[in-house]
Protein backbone atom coordinates (compact mmCIF):
# COMPACT_ATOMS: atom_id res chain seq x y z
CA UNK A 1 0.00 0.00 0.00
CA UNK A 2 1.27 3.45 -0.93
CA UNK A 3 2.08 5.47 2.17
CA UNK A 4 3.55 8.84 3.11
CA UNK A 5 4.67 9.43 6.69
CA UNK A 6 5.91 12.71 8.10
CA UNK A 7 7.87 13.18 11.30
CA UNK A 8 7.85 14.65 13.77
CA UNK A 9 4.16 15.51 14.10
CA UNK A 10 5.13 18.76 15.79
CA UNK A 11 8.40 20.61 16.20
CA UNK A 12 9.15 23.58 18.41
CA UNK A 13 12.29 25.58 17.70
CA UNK A 14 13.91 28.70 18.99
CA UNK A 15 14.60 31.40 16.43
CA UNK A 16 17.90 30.59 14.76
CA UNK A 17 17.83 26.91 15.76
CA UNK A 18 18.22 24.89 12.57
CA UNK A 19 16.47 21.53 12.14
CA UNK A 20 15.00 19.10 9.63
CA UNK A 21 11.59 17.67 8.87
CA UNK A 22 11.28 14.18 7.47
CA UNK A 23 8.96 12.68 4.87
CA UNK A 24 9.32 8.96 4.27
CA UNK A 25 7.41 7.25 1.51
CA UNK A 26 6.56 3.75 0.39
CA UNK A 27 5.12 3.83 -3.10
CA UNK A 28 5.04 1.57 -6.12
CA UNK A 29 6.77 4.22 -8.18
CA UNK A 30 7.58 7.85 -7.53
CA UNK A 31 6.82 10.42 -10.19
CA UNK A 32 7.48 13.41 -7.95
CA UNK A 33 7.62 14.58 -4.33
CA UNK A 34 6.16 17.92 -3.31
CA UNK A 35 6.54 20.15 -0.28
CA UNK A 36 3.84 22.62 0.68
CA UNK A 37 3.47 25.10 3.51
CA UNK A 38 0.06 25.67 5.07
CA UNK A 39 -0.80 28.56 7.37
CA UNK A 40 -3.85 28.32 9.66
CA UNK A 41 -7.09 28.92 7.80
CA UNK A 42 -5.41 28.94 4.39
CA UNK A 43 -4.79 26.54 1.57
CA UNK A 44 -1.39 24.93 1.04
CA UNK A 45 1.28 27.03 -0.64
CA UNK A 46 3.71 25.30 -3.00
CA UNK A 47 7.37 25.20 -1.99
CA UNK A 48 9.28 22.56 -3.97
CA UNK A 49 9.04 19.63 -6.36
CA UNK A 50 11.71 16.92 -6.40
CA UNK A 51 11.82 14.20 -9.04
CA UNK A 52 14.86 12.03 -8.55
CA UNK A 53 17.11 10.78 -5.77
CA UNK A 54 19.96 13.16 -5.10
CA UNK A 55 18.03 16.22 -6.19
CA UNK A 56 18.11 19.29 -3.96
CA UNK A 57 16.26 22.59 -4.10
CA UNK A 58 16.56 25.73 -2.00
CA UNK A 59 14.43 28.73 -1.25
CA UNK A 60 15.50 31.28 1.32
CA UNK A 61 15.97 29.37 4.60
CA UNK A 62 14.53 26.14 3.23
CA UNK A 63 16.31 23.31 1.48
CA UNK A 64 14.63 20.13 0.28
CA UNK A 65 16.48 16.90 -0.49
CA UNK A 66 15.35 13.54 -1.85
CA UNK A 67 16.55 9.96 -1.52
CA UNK A 68 14.95 6.74 -2.73
CA UNK A 69 13.03 6.36 0.53
CA UNK A 70 12.60 9.80 2.05
CA UNK A 71 12.83 13.54 1.73
CA UNK A 72 14.09 16.10 4.17
CA UNK A 73 13.11 19.72 4.51
CA UNK A 74 16.00 21.50 6.19
CA UNK A 75 15.28 24.82 7.86
CA UNK A 76 18.32 26.99 8.51
CA UNK A 77 18.17 29.72 11.16
CA UNK A 78 14.36 29.76 11.23
CA UNK A 79 12.36 32.85 12.04
CA UNK A 80 8.94 33.07 13.73
CA UNK A 81 7.33 33.68 10.34
CA UNK A 82 8.41 30.19 9.30
CA UNK A 83 5.86 28.81 11.75
CA UNK A 84 3.33 26.78 9.76
CA UNK A 85 2.32 23.23 8.92
CA UNK A 86 4.63 21.68 6.34
CA UNK A 87 3.05 19.08 4.09
CA UNK A 88 4.75 16.47 1.97
CA UNK A 89 2.97 14.82 -0.95
CA UNK A 90 3.87 12.27 -3.61
CA UNK A 91 2.66 11.72 -7.13
CA UNK A 92 2.65 8.01 -7.84
CA UNK A 93 3.55 6.53 -11.19
CA UNK A 94 0.59 5.09 -13.03
CA UNK A 95 -1.92 7.47 -11.47
CA UNK A 96 -3.39 10.64 -12.91
CA UNK A 97 -0.92 13.48 -13.19
CA UNK A 98 -1.39 15.83 -10.30
CA UNK A 99 -3.18 13.29 -8.10
CA UNK A 100 -1.25 13.80 -4.88
CA UNK A 101 -1.04 11.58 -1.81
CA UNK A 102 -0.28 13.69 1.24
CA UNK A 103 1.35 12.97 4.57
CA UNK A 104 -0.26 14.27 7.72
CA UNK A 105 2.09 17.20 8.06
CA UNK A 106 4.54 18.58 10.58
CA UNK A 107 3.44 21.55 12.67
CA UNK A 108 6.43 23.85 13.07
CA UNK A 109 6.49 26.54 15.74
CA UNK A 110 9.41 28.94 15.91
CA UNK A 111 9.68 30.99 19.08
CA UNK A 112 11.40 34.40 19.09
CA UNK B 1 -3.41 37.96 -10.71
CA UNK B 2 -6.32 36.39 -8.89
CA UNK B 3 -5.74 33.05 -7.28
CA UNK B 4 -8.10 30.13 -6.81
CA UNK B 5 -11.26 31.23 -5.07
CA UNK B 6 -13.78 29.10 -3.22
CA UNK B 7 -17.23 29.79 -1.85
CA UNK B 8 -18.66 29.77 0.65
CA UNK B 9 -15.78 30.17 3.09
CA UNK B 10 -17.80 28.43 5.77
CA UNK B 11 -20.90 26.30 5.62
CA UNK B 12 -22.93 24.91 8.48
CA UNK B 13 -25.64 22.45 7.56
CA UNK B 14 -27.86 19.89 9.16
CA UNK B 15 -27.39 16.19 8.72
CA UNK B 16 -29.27 14.95 5.70
CA UNK B 17 -29.19 18.22 3.76
CA UNK B 18 -27.43 18.65 0.43
CA UNK B 19 -24.61 21.17 0.01
CA UNK B 20 -22.84 22.68 -2.98
CA UNK B 21 -19.31 23.99 -2.82
CA UNK B 22 -17.90 26.17 -5.57
CA UNK B 23 -14.40 26.58 -6.97
CA UNK B 24 -13.18 29.24 -9.39
CA UNK B 25 -9.77 28.19 -10.72
CA UNK B 26 -7.07 30.52 -11.93
CA UNK B 27 -7.97 31.81 -15.38
CA UNK B 28 -6.45 29.63 -18.08
CA UNK B 29 -5.79 26.66 -15.84
CA UNK B 30 -7.07 23.49 -17.46
CA UNK B 31 -6.56 21.08 -14.56
CA UNK B 32 -8.72 21.27 -11.42
CA UNK B 33 -8.55 19.14 -8.28
CA UNK B 34 -10.69 18.71 -5.18
CA UNK B 35 -9.22 17.53 -1.87
CA UNK B 36 -10.65 17.06 1.59
CA UNK B 37 -8.80 17.84 4.82
CA UNK B 38 -10.34 16.38 7.95
CA UNK B 39 -9.24 17.16 11.50
CA UNK B 40 -6.20 15.08 12.25
CA UNK B 41 -6.04 13.73 8.71
CA UNK B 42 -3.89 14.62 5.77
CA UNK B 43 -5.26 16.02 2.56
CA UNK B 44 -7.28 13.39 0.76
CA UNK B 45 -7.69 13.45 -3.03
CA UNK B 46 -11.31 13.44 -4.19
CA UNK B 47 -11.60 14.17 -7.91
CA UNK B 48 -9.61 15.62 -10.80
CA UNK B 49 -10.67 17.34 -14.05
CA UNK B 50 -8.40 17.84 -17.04
CA UNK B 51 -9.78 19.70 -20.01
CA UNK B 52 -12.45 17.71 -21.81
CA UNK B 53 -11.19 14.35 -20.57
CA UNK B 54 -13.30 12.15 -18.31
CA UNK B 55 -12.65 13.13 -14.69
CA UNK B 56 -10.72 10.89 -12.32
CA UNK B 57 -13.29 10.20 -9.61
CA UNK B 58 -11.28 7.55 -7.83
CA UNK B 59 -11.08 9.49 -4.55
CA UNK B 60 -14.78 10.18 -4.03
CA UNK B 61 -15.67 8.43 -0.75
CA UNK B 62 -19.25 7.51 -1.64
CA UNK B 63 -21.94 8.02 -4.25
CA UNK B 64 -23.25 10.92 -2.17
CA UNK B 65 -20.33 12.94 -3.53
CA UNK B 66 -20.31 14.30 -7.06
CA UNK B 67 -18.61 17.10 -8.93
CA UNK B 68 -18.92 18.83 -12.24
CA UNK B 69 -16.94 21.38 -14.14
CA UNK B 70 -18.83 23.63 -16.50
CA UNK B 71 -17.21 25.22 -19.52
CA UNK B 72 -13.81 24.03 -18.43
CA UNK B 73 -13.72 26.62 -15.66
CA UNK B 74 -15.88 26.75 -12.54
CA UNK B 75 -16.40 23.53 -10.61
CA UNK B 76 -19.06 22.53 -8.10
CA UNK B 77 -18.68 19.76 -5.54
CA UNK B 78 -22.02 18.46 -4.33
CA UNK B 79 -22.54 16.37 -1.22
CA UNK B 80 -25.98 14.83 -0.91
CA UNK B 81 -27.59 13.74 2.34
CA UNK B 82 -24.67 15.07 4.38
CA UNK B 83 -23.38 13.09 7.33
CA UNK B 84 -21.41 14.32 10.35
CA UNK B 85 -18.31 12.56 9.06
CA UNK B 86 -18.42 14.85 6.01
CA UNK B 87 -17.35 17.74 8.25
CA UNK B 88 -13.99 18.88 6.91
CA UNK B 89 -12.22 21.56 4.90
CA UNK B 90 -12.75 21.08 1.20
CA UNK B 91 -9.88 22.43 -0.86
CA UNK B 92 -9.74 23.09 -4.55
CA UNK B 93 -6.55 23.44 -6.58
CA UNK B 94 -5.79 24.21 -10.20
CA UNK B 95 -2.79 23.95 -12.46
CA UNK B 96 -1.99 25.29 -15.90
CA UNK B 97 -2.04 21.84 -17.44
CA UNK B 98 -1.80 18.40 -15.97
CA UNK B 99 1.66 17.03 -16.08
CA UNK B 100 5.10 17.11 -14.67
CA UNK B 101 6.37 20.37 -13.29
CA UNK B 102 2.95 21.92 -13.16
CA UNK B 103 2.43 23.48 -9.76
CA UNK B 104 -0.96 23.10 -8.12
CA UNK B 105 -2.29 26.33 -6.64
CA UNK B 106 -4.74 25.88 -3.80
CA UNK B 107 -7.71 27.96 -2.80
CA UNK B 108 -8.43 28.90 0.82
CA UNK B 109 -10.96 26.09 1.24
CA UNK B 110 -14.55 25.76 2.37
CA UNK B 111 -15.03 24.73 5.98
CA UNK B 112 -18.04 22.44 6.18
CA UNK B 113 -19.67 21.59 9.49
CA UNK B 114 -22.49 19.07 9.53
CA UNK B 115 -24.56 19.18 12.71
pLDDT in tens, chain A (112 residues): 889 999 999 999 999 999 999 999 999 889 899 999 999 999 999 999 999 999 999 999 999 999 999 999 999 999 999 999 999 999 988 887 788 999 999 999 999 9
The pLDDT mean for chain B works out to 92
Residue ranges of domains in chain A: 3-111
Averaged pLDDT, B12-31: 95
CA distance B82 to B16: 5
Does the pLDDT at position B8 exceed 90? yes
Q: What is the pLDDT of residue A2?
A: 86
Give A102's contacts in chain B (Cβ within 8 Å): 35, 42-44
Q: What is the pLDDT of residue B100?
A: 63
Nearest to A9 by CA among A89, A91, A85, A99: A85
* Topology of domain A3-111, CATH: Immunoglobulin-like (2.60.40)
Of A97, A102, A103, the CB nearest to B99: A97
CATH number among 3.40.50.720, 3.40.50.2300, 2.60.40.10, 2.40.30.10, domain B19-95 = 2.60.40.10
Count helices and strands in chain B by DSSP H and E runs:
0, 10
Question: Do A98 and B106 count as a contact with CB atoms less than 8 A apart?
Answer: no
Residue ranges of domains in chain B: 19-95
pLDDT band at B98; cut points 50, 70, 90:
low
Amino acid sequence: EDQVTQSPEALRLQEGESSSLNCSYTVSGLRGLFWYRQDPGKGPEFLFTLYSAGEEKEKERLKATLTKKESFLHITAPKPEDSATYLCAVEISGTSYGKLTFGQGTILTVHP
Amino acid sequence: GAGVSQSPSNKVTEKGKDVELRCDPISGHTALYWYRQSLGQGLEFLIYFQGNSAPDKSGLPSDRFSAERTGGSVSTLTIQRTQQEDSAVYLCASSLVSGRQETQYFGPGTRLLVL
